[in-house]
Structure 1
Amino acid sequence: MGFLEFIFGKIGDLTWGWSLIPILVVLGLFITITTGFVQFRFFKRMFRVLSNSNQSADPNKISAREALLVSVGGRVGGGNIAGVAVAITLGGPGAVFWMWAVALIGMATSLVECSLAQLFKRKTGENEYRGGPARSILHGLGEEYRWLAIVYAICLIAAFGLGFNAFQGNTVAGAIKDSMGIDRLYSGAALAAVSGIIIFGGIHRIAKTADVVVPIMAVGYLGMALIVILLNITSVPGVIYDIVANAFGFEEAVGGGMGAAIAQGMRRGLFSNEAGLGSAPNVAATAEVRHPISQGITQSFSVFIDTIIICSCTAFIILLGDVYVPGAEGIDGVALTQQSMVSHLGGWVQYFLTGAILLFSFSSIIYNYYLGENAMTVLSEKPVAILILRLAIIGIVFLGATAPGATAVFFFSDPMMGILALVNLLAIMMLFPVAMRLLRDFQAQLKAGVERPVLNPEDYADLDIDHEAWRMPTN
């Protein structure tokens, strides 16, 4: 075990330690500039996904909004509550600015990776599609790169399907025990049971669940944050000044100054919004849309919601309170967020935050499961393989919840995600000309007065796309 921990530790150092974050940022900047700052030009269009008039008329199909909410439910999790607190503790208020910056850049990366997943998706049933980076590699780069798709699939199952689900179960059970005194055994069993019901319902039940859970989760948390901000409205300008001043080294809140702020802000931001990591495209590909860029724009909006909105709420809750003391050693993580909220609104809010963590983690569990399932179909499409994966994930959720130290065995999650991201970034770079072709097609249709651009598969006859998945929509 010690040898394995050493090997995975080295993999983590070689990916997250020094190479991955600069690559993600540089590629994001390249995409942003090359596409003409597409995330800003289409920003207003992102909000169209919230309108029912732009959804599929067939209730049996996954709509663009449902795919958005599933991905938001996956992106929004412990990183938005605990991760932001850690970033501020280690990097000072300036880390928040760099979280914002990396999210704005990541919106362009997410648009490209999710548009490619849509283009190369495959129709697998009457109302179902599968896609994601693995299938983009297989059908966009060719069979000679199947080995790369297999590496991606294995890493996706290991990191998201297994490791992160154990972490989410552990987070929920720990929060419930701390605030309500309920033993981990009972909360773990309940969480595993509910997760199992949703998991065995497949992507349609996952999407319908997310359509209910995620808005409640997000609106509730946003509502509490808004109350905190309004109660401290006179202090908001000072907090914004501190964020900017610390971000550029005008003031030093923690050891390391500007360097610590940049490192922590970017790292936590990328962990939270997942732009470029190759996870969200798996969900993006399930939606019924008229043009791949449409879903790319929608998923770009998901990054905005995760970091610019939800993470900012946590940051203001902490920075507007008196619990956080810059540079001082003390509480951090979820405890800092929880105690900061209690200092603003009273002891009862610890129960609210426990509920928020429960919903955040539950939505992440069902999202992580689907990523694992989609990856498994690349390795094997036999029903027994999917059944084994489902049972394994339910067991992993229960194990992670009931044993406080059990998640230590999942030391491989971060290194696996590092490899996953590098494979995904390689695929994005190799397929970027195809993404630009899609973007030019979308923009040309808009310029010609087409309100809702439609992909004509005949225009892409040179590519290995599934024409059944791109039949002309009737709604």
Structure 2
Amino acid sequence: MDTLIALLNDLLWGAILIYLLIGVGIFFTIRTGFIQIRHFGHMFSVLKSSRNADSAGISSFQALCTSLAARVGTGNLAGVAVAIYLGGPGAIFWMWLIAFIGMSTAFVESALAQLYKVKDVEGNYRGGPAYYMEKGLGMRWMGVLFSLCLLLAFGLVFNAVQANSISVAMKVAFGVPDWMSGVALVLLTALIIFGGIRGVARFAELVVPFMALAYIAMALFIVVSHISDLPAVFSLIIKSAFGIEQAGSGALGYAVSQAMINGIKRGLFSNEAGMGSAPNAAATATPYPPHPASQGYVQMLGVFVDTIVICTCTAAIILLSGQFEPGSGITGVELTQRALSSQVGSWGNSFIAAAIFFFAFTSIVANYSYAETNLVFLEHNHKAGILLFRLVVLAMVMFGSVGELPTVWAMADVSMALMAIVNLVAILLLSGVAIKLAKDYNDQLMLGKVPTFDANKYPELRSQLEPGIWDQPEKQG
């Protein structure tokens, strides 16, 4: 089984996905005119008006927190450590690069998810890649394939990964047996996911800003305490990324490829740009400005916060600590815990355990919300099906708590790759629509207007859209 998973990973990542991710990211970066640079400040402007919501949708801020809840998880603490251990410090450079170009990909997929969103039988907004594949491309079969990949990845495997990291952190910090962590996680998860999408959004809105700020503050404290060492750390990352240190040893090509593959793998696992996950949260929002592109900006900000800010914090903690030793076998969350403890004392173990708990637990409930949206797409809100799926999710949380890390991570890589490939093909096919949305939004912005989407201006799109959602532009007060 492990051999088959490894073979699939090598094929998907080594031969397909890395080139597709980078190629699509560069394509959209150019097509949008380097939107992540030109409109960097505008991401924060959109966030200022992000607390508005209505009876059908959650607020843009709640959508951002839900997507960050899924993004900011194991990948930011354990995943960064795995990337450094397997790919060297240079893996961090490739995490940065995939996040930078991924910001434009995140803009496109989230704007499309907003445009093609629908209302479910309870009157709540639903949407995401499966919906824009069906409505925008007329390919329901493609939406079904994507939904099945997402259910496997986010509903099952990723939740096992997050639970695994929590149980490891609790064992290292407090000596809690794996099975006890598993039972506690199952009970806590059940409390949240049985509240549905809005319950997840409210939970994320309360917890995510607090946990992210606390972790950033800790990392900043360590960076300031070692400010004189910072130039050497950045130099190490750059040299390692391009194999400068290995150039004379004959291992140049291997070192660079390992840094690149592991940095991009863990970068994608962390920020999810192009994977098709965050658009499921983006589609549930009532956007302000009332235009699909505004959610694109909100989710671009999510990629920036996740990888450029939080993953860099973890990398700084590890590389400034001197705890990273190639071939030592110390990796994942244990490496992050040791690194922090060496800087601040034994309570660093407890801090990382608490951070892992909040980061990973919020990921579990947000991952579930993505899976539920795709289950609705497949079953059209079959209540018995949703109940059964919730029970399976809880079983996977328990499995992850007591399972082995390498196998769980490898399964996550395969399912993530399959999902990302299907989504990247879809957004390439819909690239013309995404660029229209960006142009329409920016043209109104340049005229000093509040960008408002009017479907009547685009008769070629109107027939594809859910009746009643974009028919009439909202009045602005």
TM range (shorter): over 0.9
1:105 aligned partner: 101
2:457 aligned partner: 459
Alignment match of 1:183 (pick from 174, 177, 189): 177
**Number of aligned pairs?**
466
Alignment match of 1:232 (pick from 226, 230, 233): 226
Give matches, 1:339-418, under 5 Å.
339-381=338-380, 382-401=382-401, 403-405=402-404, 408=407, 412-418=411-417
1:429 aligned partner: 428
Asked whether the 8 Å contact 1:203–1:370 carries over to 2, the reply is yes
Alignment match of 2:206 (pick from 209, 212, 217): 212
Asked if 1:23 corresponds to 2:42, the answer is: no
Asked if 1:73 corresponds to 2:73, the answer is: no
Alignment deviations for residues 9-46 of structure 1 (CA, whole Å, 9 cap, x no partner)? 54433312321111110110011011110111111011
Asked whether the 8 Å contact 1:49–1:64 carries over to 2, the reply is no
Q: In structure 1, the residue corresponding to 2:335 is in which secondary structure?
A: helix
Which amino acid counterpart does residue 20 of structure 1 have in structure 2? L
Alignment match of 1:56 (pick from 28, 52, 58): 52
2:81 aligned partner: 85
Alignment match of 2:111 (pick from 115, 118, 128): 115
Q: Distance in 2 between matches of 1:206 and 1:395?
A: 19
Asked if 1:95 corresponds to 2:94, the answer is: no
Alignment deviations for residues 194-246 of structure 1 (CA, whole Å, 9 cap, x no partner)? 11111011111101100111111101111110110111111112212222232
1:306 aligned partner: 306
Q: Distance in 1 between matches of 2:238 and 2:405?
A: 40
Q: Distance in 1 between matches of 2:193 and 2:151?
A: 15
Which amino acid counterpart does residue 132 of structure 1 have in structure 2? G
Q: In structure 2, the residue corresponding to 1:141 is in which secondary structure?
A: coil
1:291 aligned partner: 291
Which amino acid counterpart does residue 232 of structure 1 have in structure 2? H
Q: Distance in 2 between matches of 1:406 and 1:271?
A: 15
Asked whether the 8 Å contact 2:18–2:261 carries over to 1, the reply is no
Shift of 1:70: 0.7
Q: Distance in 2 between matches of 1:41 and 1:48?
A: 13
1:147 to 1:310, Cα distance in 2 relative to 1, 3 A: same
Alignment match of 2:146 (pick from 128, 148, 152): 152
Q: Give unpaired runs (5+ residues) of structure 1.
A: none
Alignment deviations for residues 153-211 of structure 1 (CA, whole Å, 9 cap, x no partner)? 11110111011112222221222122112233332222111111110111111011001
Which amino acid counterpart does residue 25 of structure 2 have in structure 1? G
Q: Distance in 2 between matches of 1:395 and 1:432?
A: 39
Q: Distance in 2 between matches of 1:31 and 1:191?
A: 39
Q: Distance in 2 between matches of 1:409 and 1:329?
A: 21
Asked whether the 8 Å contact 1:90–1:264 carries over to 2, the reply is yes
Q: In structure 2, the residue corresponding to 1:220 is in which secondary structure?
A: helix
1:247 to 1:409, Cα distance in 2 relative to 1, 3 A: closer
Shift of 1:334: 1.5
Q: In structure 1, the residue corresponding to 2:176 is in which secondary structure?
A: coil
Q: Distance in 1 between matches of 2:239 and 2:403?
A: 39
1:32 aligned partner: 29
Q: Distance in 2 between matches of 1:60 and 1:176?
A: 39
Q: Distance in 2 between matches of 1:409 and 1:171?
A: 10
Alignment deviations for residues 106-164 of structure 1 (CA, whole Å, 9 cap, x no partner)? 0000100111111000022676201100000100011xx21111111111101110111
Alignment deviations for residues 407-456 of structure 1 (CA, whole Å, 9 cap, x no partner)? 95896543232221111011011100000111111111112211x31111
Q: In structure 1, the residue corresponding to 2:284 is in which secondary structure?
A: coil
Shift of 1:69: 0.8
1:276 aligned partner: 274
1:227 to 1:410, Cα distance in 2 relative to 1, 3 A: closer
Asked if 1:133 corresponds to 2:129, the answer is: yes
1:103 to 1:378, Cα distance in 2 relative to 1, 3 A: same
Shift of 1:57: 5.3
Alignment deviations for residues 283-308 of structure 1 (CA, whole Å, 9 cap, x no partner)? 11001011111001110111101110
1:261 aligned partner: 259
Which amino acid counterpart does residue 135 of structure 1 have in structure 2? Y
Asked whether the 8 Å contact 2:128–2:279 carries over to 1, the reply is yes
| Farther-moved stretch of structure 1 (337-346 vs 175-184) | 175-184
Which amino acid counterpart does residue 20 of structure 2 have in structure 1? I
Q: Distance in 2 between matches of 1:102 and 1:123?
A: 33
Q: Distance in 2 between matches of 1:323 and 1:407?
A: 21
Asked if 1:200 corresponds to 2:194, the answer is: yes
Q: Distance in 2 between matches of 1:149 and 1:209?
A: 28
1:347 to 1:371, Cα distance in 2 relative to 1, 3 A: same
Q: Distance in 2 between matches of 1:127 and 1:474?
A: 21
Q: In structure 2, the residue corresponding to 1:454 is in which secondary structure?
A: coil
Q: Distance in 2 between matches of 1:408 and 1:446?
A: 49
Shift of 1:395: 2.2
1:242 aligned partner: 236
